[in-house]
Each structure stands twice: as structure tokens, then as C-alpha cells.
Chains A and B, each alone.
Chain A
Amino acid sequence: MSKTTLQVDEVVIRFAGDSGDGMQLTGTRFTEATAIVGNDLSTLPDYPAEIRAPAGSVAGVSAFQIKFSSKDIHTPGDKPDVLVAMNPAALKVHQKELAPGGTIICNANAFSSKNLKLAGYDSNPLEDNSLEDYYTVYSVEMGKMVSLACKDMGLPAKTVDRSKNFFALGLLFWIYDRPMKPTKDWLGIKFGKRPELVESNIRALDAGYNYGETTEIFMTRYTIDKASLPAGTYRNVVGNYAISLGLAAAAEKSKLNLFYGGYPITPASDILHTLSAWKHLGIKTFQAEDEIAGMGSVIGAAFAGDLGITATSGPGIALKSEAMGLAVIAELPMVIVNVQRGGPSTGLPTKTEQSDLFQAMYGRNGEAPIPIIAPGTPGDCFFAAYEACRIAVKYMTPVIVLTDGYLANGSEPWQVPELDDLIPFDVKFADKSDLLDGQFMAYLRDKDTLARPWAIPGTEALEHRIGGLEKEDVTGNVSYDPENHHYMVETRAKKVESITQEFDPTEIYGDKSGDVLILSWGGIMGSCRAAAESLQKDRQKVSHVHLRWVNPLPKDLGEILMGFKHVLIPEINFGQLIQIIRAEYLVDAKGLNQVRGKPISSSDIEKTVKELIG
């Protein structure tokens, strides 16, 4: 019987297994191979917060989802078409989300009575026919085949067993016709000092691939055409890496030294790790004793003329908040990245959420407005980080970048930018020429931006004192004068508001008027765009607007909202942007709010839009 090849537009695969099964790694390698093939793709890693939950338990299941397509896609997909389940717990957790008629590929060797019991199965689902009516099930003895493939190597059984994820990967490579070489090269680098591991993993990978090709179990291969992307050099990028690149690019373009002060926290630590590895760009990283000290060090570095950066997650922002207020009143430039995660308190450290918008807007004592930019995709994290730095310095203000766990760890193919194409970003520190009658005026503002001068220690004749007490306009001396305080509060707010002059007109995806406007911010952009696309194909009068700057809001937004009968605001929180929009524009916006640690699906958004239209 010859094998057939089917051409499809898109596929969603979910790799799921125990935390120790290497699912994130398997997913990442599949993603890299898929990127090289030229498909558009979007990924969603989903891993537990426990460092190591008991092996085989439901709590310890780690998953990685990838959607890849010949079309332009915006989300990692709602329901997987294929579930790779490395053990019973993984099947238990993820089977319910599989698309009807989907495919399950299991590692049969992990379905021992102990593991079945741990997962809460009374009988083996691979043997009791409970799945066959709904899904196509492939029960593959991955563990056994890997041990056969490595039999003559003399490696401990445990070591060999750890390669079984590469068997699964090899099998999927065969089914979806992906190149093996990048992964083999990568293995060579990764385990360079342990050639026996390079060998065992490559054997497992080949065994999986050959299993697909030679057995008569898998009869169909699938091909997915290249997506038609604009010409250029591409790479796959995850959000936290893109943020790091954007920050480093801002430092290079502005010729400022990048100083990063922070404290490890999930899911932001990768930014600290990445920047720490870029010392060759002159980047200084400082792992402080706590979140507060991280923020403090950044304020100090900004005072002394560095591009000050910190990154954290919601609990860290809570600790940094007092210092952020100091940054507001001291009017010093710096960027604070919040990679949002599930809250409150420690909450769901590894899961995504958008519930820190209010914290970013209002989470400080006093009137302390801070501009907020929220990237919409992993690749956009680069541009948002760059933009945040540029605005911070131009307007002499702290800027918050609000990303989330989904953007931070999710990935997409990304056209590599040229630094030369980025908006120039020149910095001029104050000097003697800024003296007024021989005096330096620390709070004498630029007419257009309301920015005060950046006068750094070491500059002759500009010695001055700043601090957290209210400042007198122009001089910056301490002032308790009531009129001055009112004026300064107003001026700091106006300064943030004036950033709207940097904005391009708001882009509307779809018509300027219609039945429903889907309004989004942050990482939920992809689901909203996908829903709008689908509804527009259905000839529904639905448009989509995505807010990149959440504070200040674009000047033209009020008029745009007026063009629609309904405004729908999906958010992974219990309704935060919606309250701001309702308060600001007095529109009766509706929310779609889910806090389940994952993106809201485009199908849920579509459903809600249809209900609104009636």
C-alpha cells in the first residue's frame, strides 16, 4: 500500500507530557523546523509552576501547542488537531480540548497501571475503546523502540528513555514533512560535550521518522505550503527575547548605556538572563537583593545618565510601586516591563493573564500617571520595547511595557528588522548652555514635550538636587505651595497626555462603522483579529481596533467608537480596559472576560459578537 500526501492549510499540534518528558524542548524544535519550512506559525507553551511535580501526576503535565499554516495566522489555535500524549496524565488533561475527529498519538509504554492510576483512569483508555469513537488513536511503543534503537550503546536505561521525546518529534517530522537537519545540528551543539547523548537522541529522532515512513500504521503525510510573507530575512522569535532585543536596540541607537536592575521572577526572568548574556554589547545587569532594590538601582542609573530598565511580573510591580512614584515625580527616563501572570498574590505564576492594567494605571499613591505600551504579538515586543525607551527619554518619564506570559513565551516568525530603519533616537544631556542667568533650572520644560532637562552628575555647573518631595515649577526646589502642587500634578498629567502626538492615526481593521467593534489590547490581539477576519468573511459588519498604547489613549478613539452599535472588549481579566473606556467615552461597551490562564479563543469571541448582533 503506498502512502498518500495530503495538502492542508493549517494544523494545530499539542505536545503534552510529564514535566520531565521535555515537551517544551520538543515543541521548540518542531517550531524551529516549521519556521524554516516557511509556514506562518504561532505557539503557546503551557507548563506547570512546580519545579517538579510528582512524575506522572496531572499537576506535572507540561504542554506546548503550535499552529502552523500556509496563511497569515494570529493565534496558536483554539483546539488542537493532533495531541501527542507522552503519558496518561497528559491525555487526561488535554484530551477534552482536542478537536472532534482529531488525532491522538500516545507513548503506549507510559500507560502502566501506576501511571493510569496517577492520572485517575480506571481502565486503560488505549485498550478500552473509549477514545476510538471520537478520535483517531495511534498507540506507539515509543519507549520500547527508543531502547531498541540505542541497544548497542551501553547507556543506562534511564538515559535512553529520556530520548523518547525525540522519537515523537521524529515521527511528527515525518508526518508533516519537516527537515531533520536543524534539530540534529542543534543536538550536536547542545550536547557537544556528551557525544553519547547526541548519538542517542539522533537515533531516537531517526527511529521516530523511520517508524512513520516504514510501518503501515501512518498512511498519510501532510504538506503545508509556505505562507506568503513579505520578502525579507526571518527568524522565529519569542516575546521575552524580542523585548531584550528591543531594549538593546534602543541603547545602541541612543548611544546610551543600558543598565538593567532586577530580581528573578516568573515569567520575566528570561529578560534578565538574555541581557546578562549580552555583556559584549556593554550591557550592565544587576541582580538586586529584591524587587525594590532593582527598581531603586534603575532610578539611580537613570539619574546618572544610563538607559535604566527593569522587568518583572505583577507581584514585583507591587513591590516597586513606591519607587515608581519617585520616578514619576523625579521625571527620570526608564522602562519598566511587566510580564503579567495570573494573580492575585502568587496566583498562577506560569499562566497568562491581563489583570495588571489597573495596577499599571493606578497602582501608585497620589496622582502618578505613567505611559503604558502593550505589545500585541511576540515580535511586536521588540518594537514596543524600543518605542518605550524612545518615549521615556524624549518625555523624561518612566514608561511601562505590559506584556504577558502568553507573549513572553509564545513565538512567531518574525521579519528581522534593520536598526537603520528604526525611528532615530538622539539624546542630549543638559550642559552649561542650559544655564539661565548662571542658574540651572531642573524643572524648566520643553514646550512641546513638557520634558525637563536630563542633567547628569559629573556635568560642570549643573549641580542640583531632586527628590520625592513636590517640586517648585522651573527651579525644582522643594515646594509646599498649594497652587504649585496643583500646577505640577496637572503638568505631569499633561506631559503623559502629550505623548499622543507621537501616534499614527488609529488603524481600523474593517469598516469605520458597523454593528460591532472588537477593541483589544495586549496579547489578546491575535484572537480578536482572527475572530474579526472570520466574521468579515461571513459578511458580518464587524471591525477590530487594537490599542498599542493604553495610556494615553489615542485622540481619535472616541470618534471611532461612535461608529459602531456595539463595542466588545475581550480581556483576560474581569473587565479592566472596559472600565477605562466606559469612563472615558461613556459608551456601553460589553466585555468578554475569562481568566483561565490562557488566551481567549477566537471562537468564543466570534460567538459573543454574534450574540451581540442578535
Chain B
Amino acid sequence: MADSAVQTYSRADFSSDQSVRWCPGCGDYAILAQTQKVFPELGIKKENFVFISGIGCSSRFPYYMNTYGFHTIHGRATAIASGVKLANPNLSVWVVTGDGDGLSIGGNHTIHLMRRNLDINVMLFNNRIYGLTKGQYSPTSERGKITKSSPMGSLDCPFNPLTLVLGAGATFVARTIDRETKHMQEMITRSYGHKGTSFLETYQNCNIFNNGAYTSLTDKGTKADSVLWLEDGKPMVFGSEKNKGIRLDGNKPIIVEIGDKWGLDDVLVHDESDYVIASLLSNLTYQSDFPDPIGVLYAIESVTYEDLMMAQINEAIKKSDKKSVQDILNSGDTWIVE
């Protein structure tokens, strides 16, 4: 929905005058920088962007973007963003949330946004910890995690965010990593381009309370074996030599070595429009033997809530002869007192 006659923006146009107050070394800086870098390219007027956030470290994001922004209350950003979008469907609405905000206190609103498919872009920064409240386990923390509130290890089984939103009916599901700036830019651009709710999870390092949560995905030595880069229509291969692939053994994904026994043709080919593949991929997360899928897991076209709503309203307007509240007031059983 690019606007016509949009002036050329630079990254500076999207930086607000507020000093950024995340901890030095926080992964959030990278996400802010990539967002500010991508936005001038989207061809939309600056005043049509709205950032809505809840509570948490990630939720300070809107203050640093020189767009319209609303830093709201814990967990409710998606609900508030829904109101913004329904009031004015022409706006480009972005939700910034975290694993605590979006999956714990706000989990209910997150899933319902997914099934409604409003054209809202959700950026969930997943650092697998509560940062703002100084280090308690979050809904994505691994079981057994030692934190201030779980001195003997947390008892909760973690949420898998992408499996959750796929189950809730999301139409665009993707994941990136804070250290992968180019890839993140691409994912932000893809999120924007998707008409309907987009859900982009960013693996984000909290260097204070959960440092190294994604080391295996970012360290040079382990990265190639730990990350499965997804590309639509391409075989799912990984490893420093690109010699490992994901293959289906019946319904079960297995890792195969490409060489004598298995060729590239034997490896599963990614199809962004295939829900079964998306589910299978999302469930590789937390399976220690498998690489973590990064990229667009799922993307399908589906009608948006706001389009359906406006269609109903327009149809009702067309069909009704009651154009004013006065017409309703005067209709039905009335009588005249003289």
C-alpha cells in the first residue's frame, strides 16, 4: 500500500530525538537500526507509520522511532493496535513486543490477532528472559532455567512462539536473529509486504540477564550447523559445506548427509505456502539434534479482518434507507401527543 508522491527519507528521518536507553550491547539496538534502515525504502509516508508496544525492554522501541507511537500497558499492544487499524485501515501498524509481553501476559491477545488477520506487523523480540524486571524466567525460557524466581530451576515447559501462532491461524510467520542484520532487513521488508497479520520473531540476546542464549546460532564455529536458512522453493540444506539436509522419513524429519546415499533431490524443499511444512519446521525448534529454522516459515494470502468489516459496513449502508440516527428515532412504534 505504498503512498504516491512520497518524499525520499533517510534513516535519520526515522530517529526520534530521545536518547536510546537499552543496556549497552543489547540486541535491541540492532533491531532498531535495521528498522530505521528499512523504513525509508518502503515508499510510505512517515506519518502513516504507527508503532504500538506493551511493557518490557522491547516496548521502549516506539520512543526511538520518529513516527506515531504508543507505549501502552503490559501485554495489550496487539489489542490496542487492532483498535488503531480498525479506526484507520490506511495506517501501517507495527507492534513491538517481547516473549513476556506478547506470550505471557498478552498471550491471549496475540493468538486472537493471528486468527483475525488484521494487517498488522508484529515484531516479537525473544530473549527468553524478563529483562526489565531484572531477570526472571519467561514463557520461552528452557525448563530447569536458574533465575531469580527459579533458584532450583524453572518448572515451566517453554512456548514455541512460531508453533503457537501457526496454531492460532497466522498467515505470515518468520524468524530472524539480531546479529543477522541483512537477513533481518529482508524479514522486516517481507513482514511489511504481507497483507494480513505478520509475525516476526527475532532471536535477541539479553547480554545482562541471559547472555549467550543464542550463541550456537551466532558463533562462527557452530552457526553453520545450528541454523537452517529457509528459502522458498529451495532444498533445506545446512552445515558449513551445505552437505546436510532435512528429509522426511514417513512423517518424521531426519537429518541426512548429502553425498553417496542422498542427493539434493532427496531433501525436503521449502514451500512457504505449505502449512504442514511450516508446522514441521516450527517444531524443530527446541530439538537439540536439529538446526533452528530461520527465515519465512509460512506465508499465505488471506482476507483481512478490516476488509471484511468495511465490506459489511458498505453493504449495510447500500441496503438501508436509514441514513441518520434521526431516521431510527422516528421509526417503529411512535405516537403523537398534541
Residues of A within 8 A of B (CB): 32, 35-36, 38, 182, 226, 229-236, 245, 248-249, 252, 257, 259, 261, 278-284, 286, 288-290, 292-306, 308, 322-323, 325-326, 330, 415-419, 456-469, 477-478
Question: CB of B91 within 8 A of chain A?
Answer: yes
**A467 B109 Cβ-Cβ under 8 A:** no
**B336 A292 Cβ-Cβ under 8 A:** no
List 13 A–B pairs whose Cβ atoms lie within 8 Å, in order of A's numbering: A229-B337, A231-B337, A284-B309, A292-B76, A293-B79, A296-B72, A296-B83, A302-B87, A306-B88, A463-B68, A464-B68, A466-B71, A478-B18
Q: Which residues of A contact B79 (CB under 8 A)?
A: 288-289, 292-297, 300
Q: Which residues of A contact B329 (CB under 8 A)?
A: 235, 245, 416-417, 419
Chain B nearest CB: distance from A417 CB in Å? 7
Question: CB of B122 within 8 A of chain A?
Answer: no
Given A232-B337, A292-B76, A416-B334, A248:B325 Cβ within 8 A:
yes
Q: Contacting B91 at CB < 8 Å: which of A323, A458, A467?
A: A458
Closest to B79 in A: A296
Closest to A326 in B: B73
Q: Which residues of B contact A465 (CB under 8 A)?
A: 16, 18, 62-63, 65, 68-71
A32 to B332 alpha-carbon distance, docked (Å): 11
Question: CB of B288 within 8 A of chain A?
Answer: no
Residues of B within 8 A of A (CB): 16, 18, 45-50, 52, 55, 62-63, 65-73, 76, 79-88, 90-91, 108-109, 112, 309, 312-313, 315-317, 319-320, 322-326, 328-330, 332-338
Chain A nearest CB: distance from B188 CB in Å? 19
Closest to B80 in A: A300
Q: Which residues of A contact B67 (CB under 8 A)?
A: 463
Closest to B75 in A: A292
Q: Which residues of B contact A457 (CB under 8 A)?
A: 47-50, 68, 84, 88, 91
Q: Which residues of A contact B70 (CB under 8 A)?
A: 300, 303, 330, 465-467
Given A252-B325, A463-B67, A259:B84 Cβ within 8 A:
no
Given A36-B333, A466-B70, A467-B62, A279:B313 Cβ within 8 A:
yes
**B45 A460 Cβ-Cβ under 8 A:** yes
**A297 B72 Cβ-Cβ under 8 A:** no
Q: Contacting B47 at CB < 8 Å: which of A38, A325, A460?
A: A460
**A300 B81 Cβ-Cβ under 8 A:** yes
Q: Which residues of B contact A460 (CB under 8 A)?
A: 45, 47
Given A230-B337, A300-B80, A280:B47 Cβ within 8 A:
no
A302 to B73 alpha-carbon distance, docked (Å): 16
Chain A nearest CB: distance from B148 CB in Å? 24
Q: Which residues of A contact B90 (CB under 8 A)?
A: 458
**A301 B325 Cβ-Cβ under 8 A:** no
**A280 B319 Cβ-Cβ under 8 A:** yes
Q: Contacting A301 at CB < 8 Å: which of B18, B83, B312, B324?
A: B83
Q: Chain A interface secondary structure, helix, strand, loop or mixed?
A: mixed
Scoring B45, B48, B71, B335 by chain A CB atoms within 10 A of each residue's CB, the highest score goes to B335
**A301 B317 Cβ-Cβ under 8 A:** no
Q: Contacting B87 at CB < 8 Å: which of A288, A295, A300, A468?
A: A300
Q: Which residues of A contact B62 (CB under 8 A)?
A: 465, 467
**A300 B83 Cβ-Cβ under 8 A:** yes
**B335 A36 Cβ-Cβ under 8 A:** yes
**B76 A279 Cβ-Cβ under 8 A:** no
Given A252-B324, A293-B79, A467:B84 Cβ within 8 A:
no
A280 to B319 alpha-carbon distance, docked (Å): 8
**B334 A306 Cβ-Cβ under 8 A:** no
**A234 B46 Cβ-Cβ under 8 A:** no
Q: Contacting B88 at CB < 8 Å: which of A234, A249, A282, A458?
A: A458
**B47 A458 Cβ-Cβ under 8 A:** yes
Nearest 5 interchain pairs by C-beta: A300-B83, A467-B71, A296-B79, A280-B320, A297-B83
**B87 A304 Cβ-Cβ under 8 A:** yes
**B316 A231 Cβ-Cβ under 8 A:** no
Closest to B312 in A: A279
**B87 A305 Cβ-Cβ under 8 A:** yes
**A299 B91 Cβ-Cβ under 8 A:** no
Q: Which residues of B contact A182 (CB under 8 A)?
A: 333
Q: Which residues of A contact B18 (CB under 8 A)?
A: 465, 477-478
Q: Which residues of B contact A466 (CB under 8 A)?
A: 69-71
Q: Which residues of A contact B80 (CB under 8 A)?
A: 296-297, 299-300, 303
**B330 A233 Cβ-Cβ under 8 A:** yes
Q: Which residues of A contact B66 (CB under 8 A)?
A: 463
Q: Which residues of B contact A236 (CB under 8 A)?
A: 333
Chain A nearest CB: distance from B42 CB in Å? 15
**B338 A231 Cβ-Cβ under 8 A:** yes
Closest to A306 in B: B87
Scoring B46, B309, B313, B317 by chain A CB atoms within 10 A of each residue's CB, the highest score goes to B313
A35 to B83 alpha-carbon distance, docked (Å): 40
Closest to B91 in A: A457
Q: Which residues of A contact B319 (CB under 8 A)?
A: 280
**A463 B335 Cβ-Cβ under 8 A:** no
**A261 B337 Cβ-Cβ under 8 A:** no
**B72 A468 Cβ-Cβ under 8 A:** yes
A513 to B335 alpha-carbon distance, docked (Å): 40
Q: Which residues of B contact A35 (CB under 8 A)?
A: 333, 335
A234 to B79 alpha-carbon distance, docked (Å): 41
Apart from A289-B79, A300-B87, A322-B73, list 12 A-B contacts with CB within 8 A. A233-B335, A278-B328, A279-B313, A281-B323, A284-B86, A290-B108, A293-B109, A299-B80, A300-B79, A301-B87, A458-B47, A468-B71
Q: Which residues of B contact A289 (CB under 8 A)?
A: 79, 108-109, 112
Q: Contacting B324 at CB < 8 Å: which of A284, A302, A323, A419?
A: A419
Closest to A455 in B: B68
A278 to B328 alpha-carbon distance, docked (Å): 10
Q: Which residues of B contact A468 (CB under 8 A)?
A: 55, 71-73
**A467 B72 Cβ-Cβ under 8 A:** yes
Closest to B111 in A: A289
Chain B nearest CB: distance from A151 CB in Å? 33
Q: Which residues of A contact B76 (CB under 8 A)?
A: 292-293, 296, 323
Chain B nearest CB: distance from A308 CB in Å? 7
**A299 B72 Cβ-Cβ under 8 A:** yes
Chain A nearest CB: distance from B119 CB in Å? 14
Chain B nearest CB: distance from A341 CB in Å? 24
A460 to B7 alpha-carbon distance, docked (Å): 12
Q: Which residues of B contact A308 (CB under 8 A)?
A: 83, 87
Closest to A283 in B: B313
Scoring A289, A298, A478 by chain B CB atoms within 10 A of each residue's CB, the highest score goes to A289
**A279 B83 Cβ-Cβ under 8 A:** no
**B328 A234 Cβ-Cβ under 8 A:** no
A240 to B71 alpha-carbon distance, docked (Å): 34
A278 to B316 alpha-carbon distance, docked (Å): 8
Chain B nearest CB: distance from A544 CB in Å? 25
**B312 A38 Cβ-Cβ under 8 A:** no
A317 to B251 alpha-carbon distance, docked (Å): 49
**A38 B335 Cβ-Cβ under 8 A:** yes
Closest to B313 in A: A279
Chain A nearest CB: distance from B49 CB in Å? 8
Q: Which residues of B contact A231 (CB under 8 A)?
A: 337-338
Closest to B55 in A: A468
Closest to B88 in A: A304
Closest to B59 in A: A467
Q: Which residues of A contact B322 (CB under 8 A)?
A: 280-281
Chain B nearest CB: distance from A261 CB in Å? 6
Q: Which residues of B contact A288 (CB under 8 A)?
A: 79, 82, 112
Chain B nearest CB: distance from A443 CB in Å? 14
A232 to B336 alpha-carbon distance, docked (Å): 6
**A478 B63 Cβ-Cβ under 8 A:** yes
Scoring B55, B71, B317, B338 by chain A CB atoms within 10 A of each residue's CB, the highest score goes to B71
**A234 B334 Cβ-Cβ under 8 A:** yes
Closest to A182 in B: B333
Closest to B65 in A: A465
A38 to B52 alpha-carbon distance, docked (Å): 54
Scoring B80, B323, B338 by chain A CB atoms within 10 A of each residue's CB, the highest score goes to B80
Q: Contacting B335 at CB < 8 Å: which of A234, A294, A461, A469?
A: A234
